[in-house]
Structure 1
Amino acid sequence: MLTVNYHHRFIILLFLLLPCMFRWFLLASAAYKVTHLPGFLQQSTLPFNLETGYIEVDEFYDVQLFYYFIESERNPREDPLLLWLTGGPGCSAFSGLSLEIGPLKFISERYNGSLPNLVYHPYSWTKISNIIFLDSPVGTGFSFSNHPEGYETGDKSWSKHAVIFLRKWLKDHPQFLSNPLYIAGDSYAGKVVPLVVHNILNGKDLEEQPKFNIQGYMIGNPSTGEFIDYNAQVPFAFGMGIISDELYQGIDKNCEGEDYENPKNSPCASLIQIFEEGKVKEWQRCIHDLNYTKDVRSNLEYQVNITTSGHRALVYSGDHDMVVPFMGTKEWIKSLKFSIRDPWRSWHVSGQVAGYTESYSNNMTFATVKGAGHTAPEYKAKECLAMFRRWISHRLL
């Protein structure tokens, strides 16, 4: 039986939002309160406060970033404020909102070309925090530039634009200035999140107003720019019984010291090619033709500086992810040489093991989410909300 085709339903739902976009342009990019969504089944008005709009982050190229803002359902004036960056680069913020940590979920059902049906997501992180879902970098989702050169982007410009966006957004929303601020994201955005925090803490515009009440960051199954992110796929696949002993041993022998994503010797390249035909490609809900430059080699130095300065970090990994396997994440965390504060142990939700965790002296916590894939909250929503709730409240997992 065929189930919901998320790609087509995304297109239909976003098309239905287009009339609102024309209104935003007429109102000179003013914020717009959304009280109704087509296909929302449970009641006539949304049971949460949703705002959308544009903010200009580059006047010369007229770069406009689109956002969805959802207030905390608990205490918006005191609960943390999260800026959520979705990975890719090139994945729509609506993906994070409706498939991961936001208050909307698609109903999984046979697709017949009709309007997508949406329901309230009971394990949304907006239960306890305010969240801005940002379409970034430019070219992602509804974000755009009025000049072709404006679409030339990369790690550095993405992080710079995110800071400009935040400063302008907080000027327009001064009631959230005192809320604890966290930058968060997953997958490739996990590489950019620490850059955003670094720019907030060390940027040239530190004297500009308003000031940020930055507390730390969260990254899920994150890229770092290090070889280990990709190289860990091979031992992970072997440990899961996906590839043969012979292939694993051949790669281990011929690719030692190589970057598996860009191998330089022919025997290694041939074996990695076999490993890639062996993987089943999953449907991608992101665009991959952005004019994007990976102009930061690694974010590890940024992470060390941020956590050493007293700011908090949560790094979490779905333990069934082969895109950025937890084994590689554990390896680069180990390379930071932080002393262990709370040794490796299980953490629990509703009396069941939800994963394993370890915390370190430099304000960093690492956690695996048992049975979760690349975007952990998509697979284990209840467990990830519990993880987030405990960490954001300064409790042990």
Structure 2
Amino acid sequence: MELTRAQEEEYRSRVRGCLLGGATGDALGAPVEFMTLSGIRAEHGDHGVREYVADYSTGKPRYGLITDDTQMTLFTMEGLIRAGLRSDRGTGFHPVGILHQSYLTWHETQTVREPSGEWPGWLQGERWLYEQRAPGNTCLSALAMSVAREGSWQKYGGPAVNNSKGCGGVMRSAPIGLLPPHWNGVDSAIFTWAAEAAGLTHGHPTGKLASGALALLVHRLVVGEDLAAALDTVMAELSRHDRHEETTTALRRAREAAASESPSAETVERLGGGWIAEEALAIAVYCALARSRPEDFLDALSLAVTHSGDCDSTGAICGNILGALHGETVLPPQLTFEVEGRGTMLQLADDFVWEFTASRLLHGEYGPFTRWTVRYRGG
């Protein structure tokens, strides 16, 4: 089934909204990530963080800098496009191995100063992605170990050998849920792909299941469900998986808090710090529910980053959720216009939509033969 023109425009808006919304939340929360709530309020007032804080690491102020959360999200999206191109060659859509390759590409950006040219895809050539922004140690070590274990970056797909449930898996999983609305009916597959992709770096079941939950939540929003209905679908899917209890309990607490309490940073902190997967997801969901109207997008992001925890990750996930729910028109211009890498993100978002709605015009086993296969080589 093909999308109508109106449906494709709505879909594109959701993809862009999810990607840029996540980046905006990430950049808003990054400068206050290691501060206490009282320290944040002392600097920003009781209303919390509502504008970018300048970074002076290069000697001049820079605003809207993203972190490893958005970096890895972009590599997730590029990997999915390359997986789509590969499925056209008759192998079926199986993204996890190619996502591992994409994450290994990201790993190189964190360990060298400039592109080596050895990795597939155009994203590895974006020099601005080679800055280290407090990358997660679990992601770095798991990816380094996978290269050492296999002996080559060309062999990939093995799960992480650790028991971590840090939020580094869930914070990059939203693009898997952005697979288009005419893919309706593949909920369990999307959940499983995201869980397995998270498992490439985080071995604990909760780290994987929370990642699957976010991807499925985003997909149900893309299909057109409201936030409450989408969460119902997620809870039902979680119940079918062993050791789901931590993630299910965290989401239930978030929903109950949003329904019974006025939005506050104190409520956010009762849900946890966001350093581990189920807490990061729960905080983001709570903030999205508490400030769910389109006009409240900035209020939701501010709530998601104003706490004594992993502010950039909770801001990013909240932005992913509400961007997918409402589309790009809810993005606050006063922040989004200067988020780092916006041009790259828009290119990637549009390419993602084209791959999954118009691939017949770009590539095929018997043609057409366009430079798309060069742009996304190595699938």
Q: Same fold (TM over 0.5)?
A: no
Q: Which has the higher contact order (CA 8 A, sep 6+)?
A: 2
After TM superposition, the score normalised by the length of structure 2 is 0.34
Structure with higher strand content: 1
